[in-house]
Amino acid sequence: MSPEGLVAARTGRHCLALPSNRLGLYLALRHWCLPGQRLLMSPISADEILFLVLAAGLRPVIAPLSPDDGNIDVGAVDLDLVDAVLTTNLYGLPDRVTAFAGKTVIEDVAHAMETTVEGRQLGTFGVAGVFSLSKHAGAGSGGVIAVEHEEDLRALEAERDRLLQPRVLAAEIRSVLTSVARHTAVRLNLVRPALWAMRALGMEEEREGHRIAPRPGDLDEALKHVPELPPFDSWVQADLHDYRARRGGLSRLYQARRLRTLPGQRARRIAGVRALAELPTVAGAVHRHLDQPLFRVPLLVADREAAIAELERRGVSTGYLYDPPYDDYLPGFVELSPEPEVARWWGRHALPVDPFYAHRALPVVRELAAAPPPPGDRAVRSARRPSTPPA
Ligand SMILES: Cc1ncc(COP(=O)(O)O)c(C=O)c1O
């Protein structure tokens, strides 16, 4: 079965194959929103997402963050002030998607391919759910957009084909081989030498801290061309330069094969979530999702950078760090959150741990001191773990 066929079977929706999740998010934003509309989004997500929103000509309205799960703090937003919502489902912890009823909701389910809410697959609540095949499935690249109506799928398909660049076979082979090598290195506990080799070969993207360089001057230029995507390529392609290159049979076979490994990984992933949930540093919402094979388990620790270095020494690499929040990353280009402090706190202290390899991380993360409490009274209340006795 094709990758989109496998996701269609999971979601019961009409599905379209994509070279990346990010291309699908752009297609969805263009299809369901009009340039100039206001889009509510979390301040904590992958760098490229903010640039997609800007490329689509939308006004990013940055939401306050819940310290409980690192997603939009629904109780603190005025939905009357926005036209649409983009959820993140950070690390697989679900956004409160049903609270956005009445708005156009586009679900970024890059991290949430294995998350269900009351038995229903995430990515089936909004007008579109956009999956990434490089996360849980670890297929190196690839995405799938899932939509309710076939006519929407046809329109998205036409727009996808307009934006696709020609297939580059050599790049496709390299991408699949790199992905296979990554899995082998992780399985054999050879992450440290693999990271060293990648750095020596210049395969790591240049960063300013944890984010790619925002280049506001260049961004002003690109914004003259909205809602066209190509002028934003230099930002959107972070870590995936062929994000809109056509893929052929080799990638599709590999993606489908990787997707079929997910059911077999489920029990071990859930066991890892449960083991990590025992730690005093774990984000509060994890306790409510102990039956979910999360993509990562967020811990909130005092000294995140030291922890990352120690984990790397033990052969565990840490990715998916989104710091600083969008407000501080590109302040001139977004509508600032009314309460940016919790997002800053989360950005600084969140340490995502892969539950599939929890046994490797536990000797290090068990020893970590907890982050200071999140700023603000409401934040402290909602972050409090269910087992914490009242003060
Ligand atoms: C939350 C989130 N959304 C979307 C993406 C983009 O996914 P893709 O690389 O498939 O375009 C990422 C990638 O890291 C991500 O972390």
Q: Give residue-wise pLDDT tens across range 273-293.
A: 999 999 999 999 999 999 999
Residue 265: pLDDT band (50, 70, 90) is very high
Calculate ∠ Cα 337-342-345, nearest 5°: 125
CA 389 to ligand 1 centroid distance, Å: 37
The pTM of the full predicted model, rounded to 2 decimals, is 0.94
- Give dist(CA 50, CA 278) in Å, integer: 34
Q: What is the pLDDT at residue 373?
A: 97
Regarding the beta carbon of 240 and ligand 1, being less than 6 Å apart is answered: yes
Regarding the beta carbon of 21 and ligand 1, being less than 6 Å apart is answered: yes
Compute the average pLDDT of residues 90-108: 97
Q: What is the pLDDT at residue 377?
A: 60
CA 161 to ligand 1 centroid distance, Å: 20
Helices 169-187, 191-200: inter-axial angle, 10-degree rounding: 150
Given the structure tokens 């036409």, which residue do they identify?
A: 158
Q: What is the pLDDT at residue 130?
A: 98
Q: Is the pLDDT of residue 384 over 70?
A: no
CA 132 to ligand 1 centroid distance, Å: 6
CA 238 to chain centre: 13
Counting residues of the chain whose pLDDT is more than 70, the rounded percentage is: 96
**Distances from the Cα of 114 to the Cα of 12, 119, 237, angstroms:** 15, 11, 25
Torsion of CA 125, 227, 322, 346, to 10 degrees: -60
CA 143 to ligand 1 centroid distance, Å: 9
Q: What is the pLDDT at residue 385?
A: 42
Regarding the beta carbon of 22 and ligand 1, being less than 6 Å apart is answered: yes
Regarding the beta carbon of 251 and ligand 1, being less than 6 Å apart is answered: no
Q: What is the pLDDT at residue 378?
A: 53
Regarding the beta carbon of 320 and ligand 1, being less than 6 Å apart is answered: yes
Closest ligand 1 atom, residue 25 Cα: 4
Using most ligand atoms within 8 A of CB, pick from 53, 135, 211, 354 the residue to mutate for ligand 1: 135
Q: What is the pLDDT at residue 85?
A: 98
- Give φ, ψ of 39 to 5 degrees: -115, 120
Q: Which of 99, 100, 75 is nearest to 85 (CA)?
A: 100
Q: Is the pLDDT of residue 100 over 60?
A: yes
Give the residues across from 144 on adjacent strands.
Answer: 17, 131
Regarding the beta carbon of 45 and ligand 1, being less than 6 Å apart is answered: yes
Q: Are 141 and 174 in contact (CB under 8 A)?
A: no
Q: What is the pLDDT at residue 105?
A: 98
Using most ligand atoms within 8 A of CB, pick from 48, 71, 239 the residue to mutate for ligand 1: 48
CB neighbours of residue 95 within 10 Å: 30
Q: Is the pLDDT of residue 386 over 90?
A: no
Compute the average pLDDT of residues 60-81: 97
Compute the average pLDDT of residues 223-249: 96
Closest ligand 1 atom, residue 239 Cα: 9
pLDDT digits (tens, 9 = 90+) for 108-155: 999 999 999 999 999 999 999 999 999 999 999 999 999 999 999 999
**Average model confidence (pLDDT) for the chain?**
94
Q: Which positions ≥6 away from 73 have C-beta within 8 Å?
A: 63, 64, 65, 66, 339, 342, 382
Q: What is the pLDDT at residue 231?
A: 98
Compute the average pLDDT of residues 66-74: 98
CA 391 to ligand 1 centroid distance, Å: 39
Q: Looking at ligand 1, which residue's alpha carbon is closest to its atom 12?
A: 46
**Distances from the Cα of 284 to the Cα of 68, 108, 290, 309, 369, angstroms:** 5, 22, 11, 25, 16
Token pair for residue 321?
Answer: 């760090």
Helices 169-187, 249-259: inter-axial angle, 10-degree rounding: 30
Q: What is the pLDDT at residue 318?
A: 95
Regarding the beta carbon of 71 and ligand 1, being less than 6 Å apart is answered: no
Give the residues across from 208 on adjacent strands.
Answer: 211
- The domain segmentation of the chain, as residue ranges, is 263-383
Amino acid making up residue 277 = A
Regarding the beta carbon of 92 and ligand 1, being less than 6 Å apart is answered: no
Q: Is the pLDDT of residue 207 over 90?
A: no
Token pair for residue 95?
Answer: 């956004």
Regarding the beta carbon of 132 and ligand 1, being less than 6 Å apart is answered: yes
Q: Which of 126, 54, 118 is nearest to 88 (CA)?
A: 126
* Candidate from 71-75, 177-181, 366-370 with smallest mean pLDDT: 177-181
Regarding the beta carbon of 143 and ligand 1, being less than 6 Å apart is answered: yes
CA 213 to chain centre: 19
Domain 263-383 has CATH 3.90.1150: yes
pLDDT digits (tens, 9 = 90+) for 293-319: 999 999 999 999 999 999 998 889 999
Q: What is the pLDDT at residue 364?
A: 97
pLDDT: which is higher, 173 or 187 = 173
Q: Are 290 and 262 in contact (CB under 8 A)?
A: no
CA 133 to ligand 1 centroid distance, Å: 9
**Distances from the Cα of 233 to the Cα of 43, 138, 173, 201, angstroms:** 21, 23, 22, 23
Q: Given the DSSP bridges, would you call strands 104-108 and 128-132 parallel, antiparallel or unpaired? A: parallel
Q: Looking at ligand 1, which residue's alpha carbon is closest to its atom 16?
A: 46
